[in-house]
């Protein structure tokens, strides 16, 4: 019985065994939601992608994205990794070294542009939904307690805690410096008590230790089965809203690099580009590299 092809990639890096691991199940037709969730639990990575035929033939594929415990409407590292994997298939078929296509996700159609080399590629995609605020500023004292920090370590410069979503809601928490970022700890119980069930928390600081990086970050979502994530494109998409709120960004194009995963030994770099006109965010793009690590078959 032929199996279902799958691949694993490391995303937001061009080096294997760094970045954020991703599993992609190709030829996912016939799998129901329960089967997809069970396979995602089996891989036990931050996300697993299932590739299906698109609803509209002009798009490349339809994606369903699962954490070990739930389905997501949108996520950045699965989008980048799957786009690179599909483009690598084009390269093998001698179609092109650079391609553009749309990926259908629950959040909407995600336009992608990909360039590939041997087993590695770089993708960027435009956000199908710009970030929107979804709640009042979280209480800094409660946040500090949930993260094992002092209240004085929450916030820096103009940045205060905020809540934004570009398809997946995040609590965005600025911390004073790299030391505070490194000491932060979170459990499902502490985050639920402070922020409610299912909280996803993106911590960031403007102190990076590397002039190539604009911000350094960490992401905790223990209730979703992700104790800590090495690189979170969906959170960086939401972070664009916090940047618009807290940073004095003028009209034009702004390119930033967010470093994540360093505390886990999985260094990652996420490119964020903002296009601003008349004080409003008109477009945002997420970009990064991905490297193919393994290929195989699921016999299910």
End-to-end CA distance of the chain: 9
Q: Angle at Cα 19 formed by Cα 78 and Cα 215, nearest 5°?
A: 100
Do residues 78 and 47 make contact, with C-beta atoms less than 8 angstroms apart? yes
Contacts of 64 (CB under 8 A, 6+ apart): 28, 36, 49, 50, 52, 71, 106
Answer whether 145's CB lies under 8 Å from 173's CB.
no
| Residue pair 160/151 in contact by the 8 Å Cβ criterion | no
Vertex 12: Cα angle to 218 and 241 (nearest 5):
55
Q: Are the C-beta atoms of 243 and 249 separated by less than 8 Å?
A: yes
> Catalytic pick from 29, 33, 42, 47?
47
Question: Which DSSP letter does residue 136 get?
Answer: P
User: How many whole angstroms separate alpha carbon 292 and alpha carbon 214?
Assistant: 27
Active site residue 47: yes
Antiparallel, parallel or unpaired: β 61-66 and 48-52: antiparallel
| 235 contacts 261 by C-beta, under 8 angstroms | no
3-class DSSP assignment, residue 216: strand
**What residues are labeled active site?**
47
């Amino acid at each position: 019985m032929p199996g279902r092809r799958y691949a694993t990639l490391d995303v937001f890096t061009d080096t294997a065994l760094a970045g954020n691991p991703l599993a992609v199940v190709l030829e996912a037709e016939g799998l129901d939601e329960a089967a997809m969730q069970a396979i995602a639990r089996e891989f036990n990575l931050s996300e697993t992608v299932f590739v299906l035929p698109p609803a509209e033939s002009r798009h490349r594929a339809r994606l369903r994205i699962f954490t070990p415990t739930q389905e997501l409407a949108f996520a950045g590292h699965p989008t980048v990794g799957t786009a690179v994997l599909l483009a690598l298939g084009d390269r093998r078929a001698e179609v092109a070294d650079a391609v553009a296509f749309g990926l259908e996700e629950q959040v909407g159609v995600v336009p992608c542009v990909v360039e590939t080399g041997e087993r590695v590629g770089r993708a960027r995609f435009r956000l199908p939904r710009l970030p929107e605020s979804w709640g009042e500023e979280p209480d800094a004292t409660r946040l500090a307690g949930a993260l094992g920090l002092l209240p004085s370590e929450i916030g820096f410069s103009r940045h205060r805690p905020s809540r934004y979503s570009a398809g997946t809601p995040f609590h965005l928490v600025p911390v004073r410096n790299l030391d505070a970022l490194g000491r932060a700890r979170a459990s499902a119980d502490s985050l639920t008590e402070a922020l409610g069930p299912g909280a996803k928390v993106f911590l960031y600081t403007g102190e990076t230790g590397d002039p190539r990086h604009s911000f350094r970050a960490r992401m905790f979502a223990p209730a979703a089965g992700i104790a800590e994530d090495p690189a979170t494109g969906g959170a960086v998409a939401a972070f664009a809203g916090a940047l618009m709120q807290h940073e004095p960004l003028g009209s034009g194009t702004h390119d930033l690099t967010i470093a994540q995963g360093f505390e886990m030994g999985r260094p990652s770099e996420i490119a964020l580009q903002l296009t601003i006109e008349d004080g409003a965010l008109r477009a945002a793009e997420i970009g990064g590299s991905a490297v193919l690590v393994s290929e195989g078959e699921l016999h299910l």
